[in-house]
Structure 1
Amino acid sequence: MFINCKTWFSYRYGTFSTEKLVDTAAEHGLSSLGLTNINSTADLWDFVDFCRTKSIKPIVGTEIRNEDKFCYLLLAKNDTGLLETNRFLSQHLQAEQAFPERPDCFSEVLIIYPLGSFAAQNLKKHEFIGVLASELNRIKKQEVEAFPKKYIIRHPVTFQDKTAFNIHRLLRAIGKNTLISKLGEKDFASPEEMFVSEAVLMSTFRNFPGMISNTLQLIDSCEIKTELHTDKNKKHYSASGEDDRILLEKLAMEGFQYRYGTNPVAKARVIKELKIINDLNFNAYFLIVWDVIRYAQNRGFYYVGRGSGANSIVAYCLKITDVDPIKLDLYFERFLNPHRTSPPDFDIDFSWKDRDEVIDYIFKRYGKDHVSLLGMYSTFQRRAVIRELGKVFGLPKEEIDQLVRGKDQPMNEDKIQRTILKYGQLLENFPNHLSIHPGGMLISEKPIYQYTVNELPPKGFCTAQIDMFLAEKIGLFKLDILSQRGLGHIKEAIRLVKQNRGIDIDIHRVEQFMSDPKVAEQIRKADTIGCFYIESPAMRQLLTKLKCDDYLTLVAASSIIRPGVSQSGMMKQYIERFHDPNKIIYLHPKMKELLEETFGVMVYQEDVIKVAHHFAGLDMGEADILRRAMSGKYRSHNRFNEIREKYFANCKELGHDDTASAEIWRQMESFGGYSFSKAHSASFAVESYQSLYLKTYFPMEFMVAVINNFGGFYATEFYFHELKRTGAKVNPPCVNRSEYLTNIRGEEVFVGLIHVQQLEKKLCDLILQERLVNGDYLSLEDFIERTHAGPEQLNILISVGAFGFTGLGKKKLLWKANFAQKHMTAIPDSPALFKEPPMDFTLPDFPDYPLEDALDEINVLGFALTDMFRLCAHDGKGTVLAAQLPELLGKNVEVLGQLVVTKDVRTIHREHMAFGTFLDPKGDWLDTVHFPPSLKRFPFQGKGFYKMRGKVVEDFGTFAVDVQAMWKVGLKGKKEELNRKTVPAKVP
């Protein structure tokens, strides 16, 4: 009877979770249930799964609305009807078209209109009128009797109870971006849209028994037969499964010859992998990944193959990855084992500039009806939902800010504030809107619409309404096509080296990079700013602590920096044992056998799988569930808890000590959501070495490449700082020498026009095009005549020094620009035939002040190209430098620094502390620690200069200041005072 139910995937409308909706139906003893979310089928496969578990017949469809207007219900009679429904939704959502009042494109879909839409005599066989209980007094019995088969019961279900109804009203106000007091009755659902007993519903319609029987017959006519957890992916890459097997074997053996020559150990592993890949029907999956890689190679795109698939020797032979599983002793079963039901993960990273073309190729190669980007949904979280509710109740911003901070700062709450906090808590984790998975793509054998609706976000690629968990439940396995800036750095650096020095670089000579002593020294010094994955303060400190200068140590460092290892205390244990083998303790003899390479510490996902299998006796399928749980790819905790119970039962049966078993489980469990596979870390380390090589031998070009890719751990100004440290001469933007991006000629760099804030892209393009066609600009007047730049844009360019080539001061240039603008009456239709010399004036001498340029650069670029400490209102007297800290260990010192970045953490007592990274007056990096008592008294106050007092501390060769007191230091005074001797700020 309940064929019109919604969940919270009717975004900002429904209040039931999918599982709760089905559970509630089961509590009411229902034998069937219909899910019809608004313009969506996002959670239908969870719904089908939960219904089957509860022995409830699932009816699936959607409620079509044009904005707030309810148009009709669509119910799929069968799997074909579901495909038709999803395709219908997709076409209209992608085109942003209103849904038709009466669709005529279905063969296996039932349509149910609201009462009053159409006369019963005009309805087709598959069309019906749905009658609400509240509408019975409006309907005439004669009408129903005249067309007895056309009327059915429609009782919508949207919320659970009165509290949920209030949540619904709040969601509607959030969705409409309005005050809740301004909502009218038509803006939200009827308070009656809740479950009632089936007996009560039938009693309500007792005078219309035909409606009851029609509804039951309609339910009987609908059935979804699709099986879950069965392979729905593209079955074959070539003509057949056997052809796929032959092709994959041929390609793998050709690649084996290239990678290994005649190595018998490697060949045996290739043969073993090929057999299991074939047995598990993964041939097509490997060939599709190979096909994508082949396209990228042909287009000259750089890529990195990683994920669990990087443990595969077949992937290595196909050049999907550059990680040698024999050399690294990668655990085969982490990649693939006979118990595994899903193919291994292949995460293929491309430059952010190339990724969209690769995605476009996949859509075109495998057909838009079979390909989709994977969706995900963002959820309401505490801070955001309190802000939304604050707006709904009309609170001022200051009060909302206070409420958001209220978790840490108790306040006197009034009734409205208590209501916001109450419902904010209830709304946490509600889905808010559809989003896009960072890189997942689905390629299906049947049309993708058999399983999901595809929407079209601004990115321009069709995106599924389902997330990765539902895709896997269906049997669709994602291929991750990701982008990262690190590859952009490498590609751009190679281009700049070729352009600037005429040198071709083979960036794939990674083995040579790993044995290069200069590169090793670069890692040992942790001089890695700009290098992929190893530039953050925490990573640079870890490299120093491990005295890292080789590939295997870098691979381990890439994994132990992850929160799962570091927060569990295992990172500290690893470092201690690295330096002192006497501290290595194995909790069990089996652990020595399994973890000797990592000093008895679990570092990789493989370690956890090996321990679960060889120590606790879990089979590889169960160990794989553990792996999925710890990598954040397993949504259900029920199965995880079953594995936990089996782990401890097995340990007891095997006679293991309870204390040791519990500690080993604690270490495994701490990996949750954060661990890497060894192959994944190894792939990252390969890219790190490529970046390190470029930074070591071509530091100027490399830093320009980092700047031009706008991605890294630090703000752009600090990459310009690093660029200056290489010896490059960095010039401000120039209309004659700058490109849109920053460029380098010899050792001279010109900042790109893209960095000039508020400079219009249209004018940038014109400046460059005009210069290309007609040569350099001869003067300010020549520039104005050729580009017709407006006064605001001219003032910006003059302020940043873009006309320095004229030899005139900025004030004279500003005067000339304003004069020229006033006397330009109209923009000429064509260039003048003859150049007229610019009018010359004798202008007074305008005073220039030493730091004016720096202040202008801060205003226009957001940072200064000069030494920032020239602007600091403290002269640095009495302070020490970062380079002096080793000789002052244990001493109390004062330091002066420009804030680069902070990292906030919580102590084991949930108190707030922080780590700081600064530049000192010499341009060296300075690290600080701010424990809770100090941070409470002396909090950070945004970017700028700080004077700090504290004790020098050391941890395995890394030095920092344990800050006891900290004060913000301002900039020097007014421009008129900049040429005078500046008095230091009064800082204690």
Structure 2
Amino acid sequence: MADIHIFPDAPEGTPESKFVHLHVHSDYSLLDGASKIDTLIARAKELRMPALALTDHGNMYGVLNFEHICHANGINPLCGEEFYVAEGDHTEHEEIPYSKNGKKSYYYHLILIAQNDTGYKNLSWLSSIAFTEGMYYKPRIDFKLLEKYHEGLICLSACIQGEIPKALLFNDFKRAEETALKYKNLFGPDRFYIELQDHGIAEQKEVAPKLIELAHKLNIPLVVTNDIHYCRREDAEAQDALICIGTKKSLKDPNRMRFQGDNWYMKTEQEMASLFPECPEAVSNTLKIASMCNLTIHQYKTQELKNCLPVYKIPKEFVSQDAFVLHLVQKGLRNRYEKITPEIVERAMYELGIIFKMGFSGYFLIVWEFINWSKNNGIPIGPGRGSGAGSLVAYAMTITDIDPFRYKLIFERFLNPERISMPDFDVDMDFEFRQRIIEHTKEWYGEPQVGHIVTFGTLKAKQVIADVGRVLDIPLSEVNMLKKCIPDNPKATLKSAFSEPTEKFPDGGQLIPYKDDPRYKELFRLAFKLENVNRNTGLHASGMVIGLTELPNWAPVFKDAKTGKKAVQYTMDIIEPCGLVKFDYLGLKTLSLIRYAENIINKHKKSGEPVFSAEKVSDTDQKTFDLFSRGDTVAVFQFESPGMQKILRQAKPQCIEELVALNALYRPGPLDYIPQYIEGKWHPETIHYPDPCLEDILKETYGVMVYQEQVMQVAQKIAGFSLGGADMLRRAMGKKKPEVLMGKKVEFEEGAIKQGFTKEHADEIFDIMVPFAGYGFNKSHAAAYSVVAYRTGWLKANKPAEFMAANLTNEITSTDKIPVYIEEARKMGIAVDPPDVNRSDSIFDVVDGRIVFGLMGIKGMGQNAAEAIVKERETNGPYKTFIDFLDRIDLKDVNKKAIEVLIKTGGFDHLDKNRATLVANFEQAIAYIEKKQESTAYGQGSLFEAAGEKEFADFVYQDVEEYPKMELLNIEKDLIGCFVSGHPLDDWKDAIEKCVTCNSDNIDRCAKIAESEKQALEASGKNQWQARKNAGRSYIAMGIIQDLRIITTKKSGKLMAFAKLSDFKNSIDLTFFPQTWEAMKDKIVNEGIYAFKGKVDGSRETPSFLVDSIEDPAQLQQKSITNVHIQVESGFKSVKEIAPLRDFLFGGQGNCYVYFHIDIGGKMYIIKANTQMNVPCTPEFLNDLRETKCVKDVWVD
């Protein structure tokens, strides 16, 4: 369970309330309730209420957290739900008879509260059935279900939407009386109550006397409630805004859905007593109900959880699960190792001893079963993920494929005998087969026992600014500007944006200048109230639960609205104490990529060649390590970022172990130690070990403590800790709690002294270990993922066309990724051909070393159509003409839209007519074929043919001139996301390579430079507008104008424009201010090719290129970059410190002059370098230069 806050008690002497709230909605009543659970409990405690209910709309999402927090704060939790009840059968869609203004409804409301464990289980079942069987607008139950699941529940008649008040409102007294008696008879005289409410609404005032009269007549007790949707009266506006967020309305909309008045808050005992003074028992009955409820939801400890696992049925010949695991391990070791050494046997028996003692054989078998089934059915499973890769037993059972001996992995990092916790195998599986594996699990254990896990999207800082800004009608540009002021950190809060920068949030404080801005006062006020409120549900990306019995026996379930998948209503961090163990089924697209590459390779392999498998490639392939050493790792798993590419070029890894280390180091924290690692590799004399005895542990990482496992081994070596104890030390160091850390430090010192070390030396080593324990990486995980990375690197180095085709197939629906991978393929010298009905497969393929576009990659071409085209061609041979194509395909499978997009993307270019002609004629051609086929079906065609005549003359085309090249290419881009048969900028490559200094690749970096210069100018006294106008250097951008928009400015009434400028990879935003637009408006049209000079504005979420002037692309062809400017970091104290920069520059031979910009004492000096230091100005060289030590910035002119 997460940490639970204990709220302060009410002031001493405050009498205990004689009233408790029984009708309460938290923010788990999504986009309706505005209060967090802990806020509600804190307020109840402040009001000295001994109990509190939670009755969210149609769900139990918050119940478990609510129960735990209530108990921790001495409050009796009344766990319930406000149910939706169907008119008849919950599976039918019967309308209720009471409607207003013609608005249909299909349910009533009803409050149910659990008295005890029986009631809680029944509540769970009702909530689950409502979602899985009764969903129609809302999750619904019916009276028959209540008859089955009413034990242990207290029932309240609910708000004005309840069946009884609804009937009374429509003067249907008979229905009201019958319903009240029905519920009284079911629940008994003490467990059914008629609910009174008064929020100042006319309908409630009208119905309340009728409810009181009915209750007295039928001898049914009354209870007064407030329909709480926010904690305090002053939160009403925030809840109003929340509803507007959910309904997508503005707060200014008079017709928006809203609550009447501001009385929907947690009122005091006195306020509630004053509502119905004639019914004092309605107040005292709240305490009576609370006294009848005594629920503590059982929390399963780890030792109990193993007994909650689903039962894996072992073969009859084995006496126990332990015996079957032993058998699998013995068999597996014989398959894994040519020679089983005593060391292997000892390690296996040690691990098995711990697994058996802890009772976790069942867990291992559950994971083994679905992995084994997957592998037997050809579904790729990753070699490992997380600490589980450190287990020899898992390796022998083929749960993992990483040899813990080769990579020196530690079992105790996975399963610590000194700290009992459930094992946790994270299993990577082929992304496209994940659902099939889940379906198999359902088939194996039973569908009712298997489910996903809920997640909640919340109104995080940026989201709440966006949502509240929208409902307040604040201009989007201003909202985006405010969002950009919030730190780029998932844990960032509004508070961090209004507070001075800290180590955790170094970019904090950016909203401080707007704190008192009257334009945003209301926005910030509401945003602070709604921050972190739940917004929507989702499904955990990998988490699944498998129950010993049906899931509602352990936790309520719901059905995800988007996917229809069943999931438990409690989140991953609290689900295990319910008795449900989490299993990670993580879909990894890289495994799909490798499978696609293997399929292409095997499809085209020569007869007699063995089936190719990436798992079997040599792990010492020099071409692969050369690829990594060049940093040529676009599309290589885990190693494709520009920063990682630079490190690879510096480290030049020559074995998988070095990839493992770099993978672990390239993360926040250890990133600072990469230079030390690289220095140690190339200059071993610089390696320093904290103690000589640690060389064996730290030698493989050149003296740097990279892995968590190394921290454990150091503790074992220096202080004599067991590896289990060392793991507990590592965890304590990672949490950085001073009191815990001090106790561990004393333990470490005492152990070290016993080992013969001094206290001072022990303290020195301990202090070195602490930061590494906090950010050191799990070696088992790094090893497993580096093996996957190596396999993708091997494919790129040895089977480049197949590898890139596989990447394109893996992203076949992503119009963002396809252009990137096509560009990378072309850089690698691999041609990419357009779609072709006689060459294309449904997915991307390789023919004669060229990638052929996959038909499914065309927008509007579905999988069925693509596969039907390919199947017909493979069955009956290539298509001869367009008419032959139409005659052979089934037009039910391949519709007109699919045919049209296939024409427009060049699918028939190699047949008989151009694209424009086919587009102009294809509908007539289809009609011709349909008529011909209809005639043949009736046998008419055969009669004429027997007589030597043709019933149907050949189809006659109306020839049309082909589209202009630019139009052809734009159609391609629209339908397949990129230009394939050419590129509009192909004729301008020289100009772009020589003169363009801002493009879609580097505009973010240009924006950061502009922002830093703007801030410097603001600090010097310039106002924000002047700073923005003058900041940043000028750049040249070139590309194709698209999405040109012309607007009239509100302030001056003049015209200005916005556009996209597309280059070979992507696009950047352009802004033309009025004066600039006036000067060039007659020269610019959509889809034209232009070059512009301008600056970059980085103040908004998306950077924009501010156009100053237009350049002639033809003249740019004659120009070239001649100067490279380097701004050196200030503060260096000697020439030695910039030696790496000097060495790097001397290593690059080119024709561009180098200028150093050096800040000395606040004054900038510009020094031209000797011509011997002339460098190239290729993008690759400039990127490496920017990342070289001592370089602050680089630009060219």
Band of TM-score, shorter chain: 0.7 to 0.9
In the TM superposition, residue 817 of structure 1 has moved relative to its aligned partner by: 4.5
* 1: CA distance, partners of 2:726 / 2:535: 34
Q: Measured at CA, do residues 906 and 186 of structure 1 come closer, stay the same or move farther in structure 2, by a change above 3 Å?
A: closer
**Out of 238, 259, 262, which is 2:313 matched to?**
238
In the TM superposition, residue 288 of structure 1 has moved relative to its aligned partner by: 0.4
**Out of 60, 67, 70, which is 1:41 matched to?**
60
Residue 302 (structure 1) aligns with: 380
Q: Extract unaligned runs of 5+ from structure 2.
A: 1-19, 86-104, 166-175, 487-509, 753-758, 942-949, 1015-1031, 1040-1062, 1066-1093, 1106-1112, 1127-1139, 1158-1176, 1180-1195
* 2: CA distance, partners of 1:620 / 1:166: 56
Residue 986 (structure 2) aligns with: 871
* 1: CA distance, partners of 2:1155 / 2:564: 49
Q: Is the contact between residue 904 and residue 912 of structure 1 (CA under 8 Å) also seen in structure 2?
A: no
Moved more, 465-474 or 855-864: 855-864
Residue 52 (structure 1) aligns with: 71
Larger radius of gyration: 2
* 1: CA distance, partners of 2:722 / 2:81: 42
In the TM superposition, residue 234 of structure 1 has moved relative to its aligned partner by: 0.9
SS at match of 1:423: helix
Moved more, 380-389 or 270-279: 380-389
Residue 6 (structure 2) aligns with: none
Q: Measured at CA, do residues 202 and 570 of structure 1 come closer, stay the same or move farther in structure 2, by a change above 3 Å?
A: farther
Q: Measured at CA, do residues 910 and 284 of structure 1 come closer, stay the same or move farther in structure 2, by a change above 3 Å?
A: farther
Q: Measured at CA, do residues 877 and 748 of structure 1 come closer, stay the same or move farther in structure 2, by a change above 3 Å?
A: closer
- CA deviation string 1:277-317 (max 9, x = no partner): 12222221111001111111221111013221111111111
SS at match of 2:448: coil
Q: What are the within-5 Å matches in structure 2 for residues 331-480 of structure 1?
A: 331-405=410-484, 415=518, 417-457=520-560, 458-474=562-578, 476-480=580-584
SS at match of 2:604: helix
**Out of 377, 392, 403, which is 1:313 matched to?**
392
* 2: CA distance, partners of 1:830 / 1:823: 11
* 2: CA distance, partners of 1:794 / 1:807: 15
SS at match of 1:436: strand
Equivalent AA in structure 1 for residue 353 of structure 2: K
Equivalent AA in structure 2 for residue 354 of structure 1: F
Residue 538 (structure 1) aligns with: 643
SS at match of 1:578: helix
Moved more, 222-231 or 296-305: 222-231
Q: Measured at CA, do residues 76 and 184 of structure 1 come closer, stay the same or move farther in structure 2, by a change above 3 Å?
A: farther
Alignment pair present for 1:778 and 2:880: yes
Equivalent AA in structure 2 for residue 80 of structure 1: T
Q: What are the within-5 Å matches in structure 2 for residues 188-267 of structure 1?
A: 188=259, 191-198=262-269, 201=272, 207-212=278-283, 214-230=285-301, 231-232=304-305, 233-234=308-309, 236-238=311-313, 243-260=320-337, 261-267=339-345
Q: Measured at CA, do residues 144 and 558 of structure 1 come closer, stay the same or move farther in structure 2, by a change above 3 Å?
A: same
**Out of 464, 484, 491, which is 2:595 matched to?**
491
* 1: CA distance, partners of 2:935 / 2:675: 71
Equivalent AA in structure 2 for residue 373 of structure 1: H
Q: Is the contact between residue 115 and residue 293 of structure 2 (CA under 8 Å) also seen in structure 1?
A: yes
Residue 247 (structure 2) aligns with: 176
* 2: CA distance, partners of 1:908 / 1:805: 50
Q: Is the contact between residue 719 and residue 749 of structure 2 (CA under 8 Å) also seen in structure 1?
A: no
* 1: CA distance, partners of 2:708 / 2:928: 72
In the TM superposition, residue 435 of structure 1 has moved relative to its aligned partner by: 1.0
Q: Is the contact between residue 985 and residue 1064 of structure 2 (CA under 8 Å) also seen in structure 1?
A: no
Residue 1084 (structure 2) aligns with: none
Moved more, 366-375 or 205-214: 205-214
Q: Measured at CA, do residues 572 and 935 of structure 1 come closer, stay the same or move farther in structure 2, by a change above 3 Å?
A: farther
* 2: CA distance, partners of 1:84 / 1:466: 16
In the TM superposition, residue 392 of structure 1 has moved relative to its aligned partner by: 1.6
SS at match of 1:38: coil
Query: Number of residue pairs matched?
Result: 930
* 2: CA distance, partners of 1:902 / 1:621: 50
Residue 565 (structure 1) aligns with: 670
Q: Is the contact between residue 917 and residue 962 of structure 2 (CA under 8 Å) also seen in structure 1?
A: no
* 1: CA distance, partners of 2:427 / 2:795: 22
Residue 1082 (structure 2) aligns with: none
* 2: CA distance, partners of 1:554 / 1:627: 24
Equivalent AA in structure 2 for residue 91 of structure 1: I
Q: Extract unaligned runs of 5+ from structure 1.
A: 632-636, 880-893, 926-932, 970-986
Moved more, 492-501 or 789-798: 789-798
Q: Measured at CA, do residues 17 and 564 of structure 1 come closer, stay the same or move farther in structure 2, by a change above 3 Å?
A: farther
In the TM superposition, residue 685 of structure 1 has moved relative to its aligned partner by: 1.6
**Out of 780, 787, 799, which is 1:698 matched to?**
799
- CA deviation string 1:435-457 (max 9, x = no partner): 11110111222432234332222
Equivalent AA in structure 1 for residue 637 of structure 2: F
Q: What are the within-5 Å matches in structure 2 for residues 624-773 of structure 1?
A: 643-644=740-741, 646=743, 655=759, 664-669=769-774, 671=775, 676-710=777-811, 715-724=817-826, 728-759=830-861, 763-764=865-866, 767-768=869-870, 771=873
Residue 85 (structure 1) aligns with: 123
Equivalent AA in structure 2 for residue 518 of structure 1: K
**Out of 32, 40, 44, which is 2:51 matched to?**
32
In the TM superposition, residue 937 of structure 1 has moved relative to its aligned partner by: 8.3
* 2: CA distance, partners of 1:535 / 1:310: 24
* 2: CA distance, partners of 1:919 / 1:272: 65
* 2: CA distance, partners of 1:847 / 1:146: 87
Q: Measured at CA, do residues 6 and 345 of structure 1 come closer, stay the same or move farther in structure 2, by a change above 3 Å?
A: same
In the TM superposition, residue 713 of structure 1 has moved relative to its aligned partner by: 13
- Alignment RMSD: 4.7
* 1: CA distance, partners of 2:760 / 2:310: 45
Q: Is the contact between residue 363 and residue 371 of structure 1 (CA under 8 Å) also seen in structure 2?
A: yes
Q: Is the contact between residue 602 and residue 608 of structure 1 (CA under 8 Å) also seen in structure 2?
A: yes
Equivalent AA in structure 1 for residue 413 of structure 2: R
Q: Measured at CA, do residues 561 and 185 of structure 1 come closer, stay the same or move farther in structure 2, by a change above 3 Å?
A: closer
SS at match of 1:563: coil
Equivalent AA in structure 2 for residue 166 of structure 1: E
SS at match of 1:159: coil
Alignment pair present for 1:128 and 2:178: no
* 1: CA distance, partners of 2:121 / 2:777: 38
In the TM superposition, residue 559 of structure 1 has moved relative to its aligned partner by: 1.3
Residue 21 (structure 1) aligns with: 40
Equivalent AA in structure 2 for residue 862 of structure 1: G
- CA deviation string 1:371-422 (max 9, x = no partner): 2112211111233322322332234544544444466697799756321233
Equivalent AA in structure 1 for residue 197 of structure 2: L
* 1: CA distance, partners of 2:284 / 2:589: 62
In the TM superposition, residue 431 of structure 1 has moved relative to its aligned partner by: 1.7
Equivalent AA in structure 2 for residue 704 of structure 1: A
Q: Measured at CA, do residues 574 and 468 of structure 1 come closer, stay the same or move farther in structure 2, by a change above 3 Å?
A: farther
TM-score by length of 2: 0.69
SS at match of 2:112: strand
Q: Is the contact between residue 595 and residue 601 of structure 1 (CA under 8 Å) also seen in structure 2?
A: yes
In the TM superposition, residue 732 of structure 1 has moved relative to its aligned partner by: 0.9
TM-score by length of 1: 0.82
**Out of 570, 578, 586, which is 1:482 matched to?**
586
SS at match of 1:45: helix
Q: Is the contact between residue 876 and residue 896 of structure 1 (CA under 8 Å) also seen in structure 2?
A: no
Residue 61 (structure 1) aligns with: 80
* 2: CA distance, partners of 1:429 / 1:619: 42
* 2: CA distance, partners of 1:531 / 1:346: 25
* 2: CA distance, partners of 1:337 / 1:911: 49
SS at match of 2:320: helix
Moved more, 295-304 or 53-62: 53-62
Q: Is the contact between residue 708 and residue 772 of structure 2 (CA under 8 Å) also seen in structure 1?
A: no
Q: What are the within-5 Å matches in structure 2 for residues 94-109 of structure 1?
A: 94-95=132-133, 96-97=135-136, 98=138, 99-100=140-141, 102=143, 103-108=146-151, 109=153
- CA deviation string 1:952-974 (max 9, x = no partner): 89699899999999x9x9xxxxx
In the TM superposition, residue 208 of structure 1 has moved relative to its aligned partner by: 3.6
